[in-house]
Amino acid sequence: MATVIDGKAVAQTIRSEIADEVRLLSQKYGKVPGLAVVIVGNRKDSESYVKTKRKACADLGINSFDIDLPEEVSEAEVIRHVHELNANPDVHGILVQLPLPKHINEEKVLTEISLAKDVDGFHPLNIGKLAMKGRDPLFLPCTPKACLELLSRSGVSIKGKRAVVVGRSNIVGLPASLLLLKADATVTIVHSQTSQSDTESIIREADIVIAAAGQAKMIKGSWIKPGAAVIDVGTNSVDDPTRKSGYRLVGDVDFEEASKVAGWITPVPGGVGPMTVTMLLKNTLEGAKRNIEQNN
Ligand X SMILES: Nc1nc2c(c(=O)[nH]1)N[C@@H](CN(C=O)c1ccc(C(=O)N[C@@H](CCC(=O)O)C(=O)O)cc1)CN2
Active site (catalytic) residues: 53, 97, 120
Closest listed residue to residue 291, CA positions, set 124, 126, 119: 119
Least CB distance to ligand X at residue 154 (A) = 17
Report the C-alpha gap between 198 and 200 in whole angstroms.
5
Closest listed residue to residue 69, CA positions, set 45, 94, 37: 37
Least CB distance to ligand X at residue 262 (A) = 18
With a CB cutoff of 8 Å and minimum separation 6, the contacts of 70 are 40, 41
Q: Determine the residue with CB nearest ligand X.
A: 273
Between 140 and 202, CB nearer to ligand X? 140
Element (H, E) at 150: helix 142-153
Least CB distance to ligand X at residue 277 (A) = 5
Residues contributing to the site for ligand X (CB under 6 A):
48-49, 95-98, 120, 142-143, 171, 235, 249, 268-270, 273-274, 276-277
Between 25 and 56, CB nearer to ligand X? 56
Three-class HEC string of 101-148:
CCCCCHHHHHHHCCHHHCCCCCCHHHHHHHHCCCCCCCCCCHHHHHHH
Report the C-alpha gap between 220 and 70 in whole angstroms.
41
Least CB distance to ligand X at residue 148 (A) = 15
Between 97 and 188, CB nearer to ligand X? 97
Report the C-alpha gap between 190 and 198 in whole angstroms.
8
Between 142 and 190, CB nearer to ligand X? 142
Least CB distance to ligand X at residue 186 (A) = 26
Between 115 and 186, CB nearer to ligand X? 115
Report the C-alpha gap between 47 and 194 in whole angstroms.
33
Structural contact between residues 272 and 143, judged by C-beta atoms closer than 8 angstroms: yes
Omega into 141 within 30° of 0, i.e. cis? no
Element (H, E) at 86: helix 75-87
Least CB distance to ligand X at residue 274 (A) = 5
Report the C-alpha gap between 127 and 170 in whole angstroms.
9
What number of other Cβ atoms are within 10 A of residue 227's Cβ? 11
Between 95 and 285, CB nearer to ligand X? 95
